[in-house]
Amino acid sequence: MTLSTFGVLRPSCASAAALALLVASASAHGQAVAGGSRTSLPLTSVTLYRSGVGYFERNGSVKSGDSVQLRFANDEINDMLKSMVILDPEHALESVSYESKEPLSRQLASFGIDLSDNPTLAGLLGRLRGTRVKIGTADGTVEGVILGGETRQKAEGHTQEPLSVPFINVVTPAGVISVDLNTAVSVALEDAALNAELIKALAALASHTTDRFKTVEITFGGKTAREVVVSYVNEMPIWKTSYRLVLRDDKKASEKPLIQGWAIVENTTDDDWNDVELALVASQPVSFEMDLAQSLHITRPQLPVPMVAGAAPRIYSDGDAFAANRSLHSDARKMASPGSPPITSAPAPVSLADASVAGFDGGGGVEPRHRAGSARQEGGEVAMSRGGLFGSSPMSEAQGGSVGEAFQYTLSNPISIARQQSAMLPILTGPIDARRVSIFNAHDGIEHPMRGLELKNTTGLQLIPGPIAVYDGFAYAGDAEIGYMTLNDSRLLAYAVDLSVAAAEQSEQTSHVRSIRIVDGAIEQTYQQLHRVSYAFNNKDTTKGRTILVEAHKLHDWALVEPKKPAEETANLYRFEIELAPGAKGTLVVAQEHTGLERLGVVGYNMATLLSFATDGKASPAVVKAVTKAAEMQSEINATNDRIARLEQERTGIDADQSRIRQNMNSIDHASEVYRRYLAKFGDQETRLEAIRAETEKERSTLAAQQQALNGFVRTLNVS
């Protein structure tokens, strides 16, 4: 075998052997497949969902010994394993087989040379310690047994900077020789078996990289020819819809607008869809991926090998030989598994449920199930229809119907779409109810309403969300977008700016008190807020009138007072209608009202404001009297606080004067007249300080009593 410095196979006899090995493997597989009678099951029905999956159904005739091969991309095989259904009226399905998908790392680790972690040449040779090898270098060939690898620092280049260089040590008859692998031009393993393992590992790696598809082979037994059904679910692009709406003369009731609907379908599979019945389902079933093709291995516990202790010499005591025996046997049991806990019982075996393919019965066959338009039991035979498992009768364009709880379009005629191609398919053509309107919403930020339509779904089919191109008199008018519309559902569409109508908006908000009362010692003030928006419109079109739909924002917890009732109401909007004649002007006022409650303290409420409310009848005389009494009590409290403050101020002044007197007395003769005058004044001030302390204590007691009286009065106050 010859390897490059980086461990890649060089062209040699070894790579030729690898190619031969791959060719031989492929030939053997082809012979195994060709051994039976092979038949095909044409694709007859496809159902696409808006959750990114498609349902595929194949119908065809098989007889005993026939096999059917289906090719799936690697990322499709899991959906097949999760969803495939096989209906065979003879219950003679023998097997469904496919190539296993062992993890690549596990496959590579199973070979004699482990390539699972993409080792370097040095790392690979290091794993082959003890293997005979022949390494060719510029200085000659080194033959011997690999001892091991190492990395050395070696100065290279004109800078002579040290670099890490891999070396492999080889034991030769002349001794241990270290080979710089950067200078090696060839590496050959002399062990033919080990060389073959390396080629197999590389072949497995190449197969995993290039193999994009897997073949699923279905083999049938039985005695007679019969029709069978094979169906499955695979990932598919979401099918889309687009519409065209042609407006005609709205003055003629018979000339309703025409709507045309198209489905955009993409065949991303590797099969051509030839004369396939196609159904398009509007629902979004839950769909997920699960890796069922990947082989899974669990980690099993490793238990110590049970051991029986060897016989130990017995030492008998003179007194109790049996007790000595029991002690020695107990010690021997403890030594049976050194370093491990004693094993009291064997682990219970793992029970694995028998694996089976969905639809298999206990006898190895498939029990056909009744499904509308697909298979039904008649006299021991299964009759198949072109509708498939979810089929329905065809009509012109597309027929709408329900399958379970979902709505679907079923195209009337079979369709053909080549692999990796897309198509636009007509699903709807017919009249629909529509009314021309101009829609104004101030939040759009423009001074004109939008030209639009009030569309009512009278097509008999459900409409799927998508864009809609509007044509007015067969001239393009604009684009719009519709959401999901069930039967007889209505929607507004806006497709252009109505430049012929000017719009203006002006808003104001006022608030006033409606009533005042006292509840549990607090003033409850009921107030009312009024939000008014005035809309003005000017229709400058002197030939056509306008129906203006005004969208007004709905305020949360506010009531509509003007106009009394909207033309339409949504969760966040009111809609009102205004009819404008050609060249006419019009206005609309939208008023919303909100009543709120505010709690304020009785004490401190502005008396002038209260008296004005009483004059307007918003506050009763009893409320005024109660608030007045509370204000008087608070006034007495304020007067007491003022007296206490004046006493505290006087005390502070005396303290400051005494500090000045003490400082002066320390600097004059104690026998002087001035000293005696200071001493007398100091005594008078001390007498006043005692009086201040007594008066302050009395005033504080009075303040506490006044505050308690006010609190007691307010606490139980309830006046309407």
Phi, psi values for residue 492, rounded to 5° = -100, 135
User: pLDDT value at position 612?
Assistant: 72
User: pLDDT value at position 311?
Assistant: 67
**Amino acid at residue number 96:** V
Name the residue ranges covered by the structural domains of the chain: 1-34+101-211, 501-601, 621-715
Instruction: Give, in order, the Cα–Cα distances in Å from 37 to each of 60, 87, 135, 235.
Output: 14, 20, 53, 30
Query: What is the distance between the alpha carbons of residues 172 and 186, in angstroms, rounded to a whole number?
Result: 17
Query: What is the distance between the alpha carbons of residues 106 and 104, in angstroms, rounded to a whole number?
Result: 5
pLDDT digits (tens, 9 = 90+) for 331-380: 444 444 444 444 333 333 333 233 333 333 333 333 333 333 333 333 33
Is the separation of the CB atoms in 265 and 48 below 8 Å? yes
Those residues of the chain that have pLDDT short of 70 are 1-36, 100-112, 116, 156-159, 207-212, 250-254, 309-406, 604
Tokens 């400051």 locate to 656
**The pair of three-digit structure tokens given for residue 17, joined into one six-digit string:** 């052997």
Nearest to 259 by CA among 60, 433, 69: 433
Name every residue whose Cβ is closer than 8 Å to that of residue 480 and which is 6 or more positions away in sequence.
Answer: 452, 453, 467, 468, 470, 493, 494, 495
Query: What is the distance between the alpha carbons of residues 628 and 639, in angstroms, rounded to a whole number?
Result: 16
Is the separation of the CB atoms in 443 and 553 below 8 Å? yes
User: pLDDT value at position 105?
Assistant: 67
User: pLDDT value at position 632?
Assistant: 80
Percent of the chain with pLDDT over 90: 25
- Angle 192-210/13-34 helices, nearest 10 degrees? 60
Query: What is the distance between the alpha carbons of residues 452 and 496, in angstroms, rounded to a whole number?
Result: 7
User: pLDDT value at position 108?
Assistant: 67
Nearest to 578 by CA among 540, 545, 600, 606: 545
Where do the H-state alpha helices sit in 35-94?
Answer: 77-83
Query: What is the distance between the alpha carbons of residues 306 and 342, in angstroms, rounded to a whole number?
Result: 9
What is the C-alpha radius of gyration for the chain, rounded to an integer number of angstroms? 49
What one-character-per-residue DSSP string does 643-669 give?
HHHHHHHHHHHHHHHHHHHHHHHTTS-
**The pair of three-digit structure tokens given for residue 117, joined into one six-digit string:** 């972690």
Tokens 């516990």 locate to 301
Tokens 């204590």 locate to 697
- Angle 621-665/673-715 helices, nearest 10 degrees? 160
User: pLDDT value at position 267?
Assistant: 94
Name every residue whose Cβ is closer than 8 Å to that of residue 124 and which is 6 or more positions away in sequence.
Answer: 7, 113, 115
Query: What is the distance between the alpha carbons of residues 532 and 539, in angstroms, rounded to a whole number?
Result: 23
Is the separation of the CB atoms in 368 and 382 below 8 Å? yes
Query: What is the distance between the alpha carbons of residues 525 and 600, in angstroms, rounded to a whole number?
Result: 8
Query: What is the distance between the alpha carbons of residues 611 and 631, in angstroms, rounded to a whole number?
Result: 13
Pairing of strands 161-172, 568-569: unpaired
Phi, psi values for residue 199, rounded to 5° = -65, -40
**The pair of three-digit structure tokens given for residue 101, joined into one six-digit string:** 């998908």
What one-character-per-residue DSSP string does 304-360 give?
PPP--PPP------SS-HHHHHHHHHHHHHHTSSTTSPPP-SPPPPPP-PPP--TTB
Question: Alpha-carbon dihedral of residues 404, 260, 397, 388, nearest 10 degrees?
Answer: -30
**The pair of three-digit structure tokens given for residue 395, joined into one six-digit string:** 């009509």
Query: What is the distance between the alpha carbons of residues 551 and 395, in angstroms, rounded to a whole number?
Result: 41
Where do the H-state alpha helices sit in 412-474?
Answer: none
The Cβ of residue 521 has, within 10 Å, a number of other Cβ atoms equal to: 17
Query: What is the distance between the alpha carbons of residues 401 and 282, in angstroms, rounded to a whole number?
Result: 11
Is the separation of the CB atoms in 10 and 2 below 8 Å? yes
pTM above 0.85, yes or no: no
Is the separation of the CB atoms in 162 and 173 below 8 Å? no
The Cβ of residue 297 has, within 10 Å, a number of other Cβ atoms equal to: 8
Tokens 């994009």 locate to 212
H or E element, residue 573: strand 573-580
Question: Alpha-carbon dihedral of residues 509, 514, 519, 521, nearest 10 degrees?
Answer: 70
117 CB-contact burial (10 Å; exposed 0-12 / middle 13-18 / buried 19+) = exposed
**Amino acid at residue number 624:** V
Name every residue whose Cβ is closer than 8 Å to that of residue 195 and which is 6 or more positions away in sequence.
Answer: 1, 14, 189
Query: What is the distance between the alpha carbons of residues 262 and 427, in angstroms, rounded to a whole number?
Result: 6
**Amino acid at residue number 633:** M
